[in-house]
Amino acid sequence: MNNKKNTLPLYILAFFLFLGGVSWLIYSGVRSSSVYFLNVSEALAASPEKVQSIRLFGTVAERNLVRDPHSLHLTFLLEDRDNTTITIPVSYQGLIPDTFKAGAEVIVEGGMDANKCFLAKTLMTKCPSKYQKENRKNL
């Protein structure tokens, strides 16, 4: 019986070390995978360390849309949702969604370089309204 009293503090210590380790893994996993979701004007006003890993929402501008089908490289201007005069240049290398076009609402994920050009790793377009339930005809 005396042996059990001596090992109880050891079990309590092991439990708290285990709990601390699991907590640290959860915290570091959430912290490394979290990104800011900003509009264009917020990204341009943010500090450089905040715009290293962000998601931007905006509309593809009509001008300066350059698509190279051979290298899958795309550059365009992303307009702010609230103020279309505020834009940011975006550079993207990869597959381009079929619904991507001038005037489309897009979400890009990546980071900003020193020249305030957004280097996108992913590019997603917002689904057109024809896919929304209220705009479909009953079959």
- SS percent in the chain: helix, strand, coil, step 5: 30, 30, 35
DSSP summary character for residue 95: P
In whole angstroms, how far apart are CA 109 and each of 2, 16, 54, 126, 138?
A: 61, 38, 6, 14, 36
Per-residue pLDDT of the chain (139 residues; tens, 9 = 90+): 556 667 888 888 889 898 888 888 887 776 655 667 788 888 888 877 777 888 899 999 988 889 887 888 999 999 998 888 999 999 999 888 888 898 999 999 998 888 888 999 999 998 765 555 554 455 4
* Cα gap 38→58, rounded to integer Å: 9
What is this structure's pTM? 0.66
Strand partners, 108: 56, 123
* Cα gap 60→89, rounded to integer Å: 10
Residues near 87 by beta carbon (within 8 Å), at least 6 away in sequence: 40, 61, 77, 78, 79, 80
Buried residues in 115-131 as b, exposed as e (16+ CB within 10 A): eeebebeebbbeeeeee
CB neighbours (10 Å) of residue 50?
14
Strands (E), 61-139: 66-68, 73-79, 87-93, 105-112, 118-125
